Amino acid sequence: MLEKVGLDASLKDGLPVALKTKPSERGKFAQQTVEYAEALMLKHVAATEAKLGSKDSEAASRAQAVTGAEAALAAATHLKEQSEEATAAAEATLAEKTKELAAARKAEKALEPKAKHVNVACEDAKRSLEEVQALAAKFQALCEEPAPTTAEAEEEEMPEAPTTVAEVEASAEAPTVAEVVA
């Protein structure tokens, strides 16, 4: 311990001998050894007391740090609890939405045949509409043509009789006026 306070090794060996002798019987070297050791011890005690005095302020600052850390811990714990609650709510919402998605997909799959049928019906309706529009256009064109005179109408109604076999065969394949108008 004497080495910690700064006592030399040579004085360390001489101090026990000097302390065993009575103060009145000590020689000059023994007396100086004891005085030097005493001064070192007093110096060490003063330094230790100063350290202890600073330890009080250090203890107070550490106590404040502990209080601050405890407050931060409480805030972090509260935040963690809120986060856990939010996570649980989000997971519940996710589970609910996953169920809704599965139900929607099931409903979509169930509607696929009907959608195909509706698409086919729509295409048929479009084709029918186009046919009706084409017929309406023909009708409009016929309505806008000037009416044939009586002579022209008779010529159209009365075709000449075929004179050759080829003309007879061709007239059999040709559509009649009634077929063209229809």
Q: How many CB atoms lie within 10 A of CB 7?
A: 19
pLDDT tens digits, 41-90:
888 888 888 887 777 777 888 899 999 999 999 999 999 999 999 999 99
| Residue 148, pLDDT score | 61
Rounded-to-integer distance, Cα 33 and Cα 19, Å:
9
Confidence class of residue 162 from pLDDT cuts 50, 70 and 90? low
Q: What pTM was estimated for this model as a whole? A: 0.37
Say what angle helices 9-20 and 28-144 make with each other, to 10 degrees: 130
Q: Is 32 exposed, middle or buried (0-12, 13-18, 19+ CB in 10 A)?
A: middle
Q: Work out the average pLDDT over 147-152.
A: 61
Residue 32 and residue 13 in contact, taking contact as beta carbons nearer than 8 Å: no
For residue 44, give every residue at least 6 positions away whose Cβ sits within 8 Å of its Cβ, in sequence order, or none: 4, 5, 6
Q: Is 12 exposed, middle or buried (0-12, 13-18, 19+ CB in 10 A)?
A: middle
Confidence class of residue 21 from pLDDT cuts 50, 70 and 90? confident
CA dihedral 88, 91, 97, 103 (to 10 degrees): -110
> Higher-confidence residue: 158 or 62?
62
Which two structure tokens, joined as six digits, stand for 20? 């065993």
Largest separation between any pair of C-alpha atoms in the chain: 178
pLDDT tens digits, 84-109:
999 999 999 999 999 999 999 999 89
Res. 175: pLDDT tops 70: no
Confidence class of residue 126 from pLDDT cuts 50, 70 and 90? very high
Rounded-to-integer distance, Cα 172 and Cα 58, Å:
125
Rounded-to-integer distance, Cα 138 and Cα 91, Å:
66
Domain map (residue ranges) of the chain: 9-145, 151-182
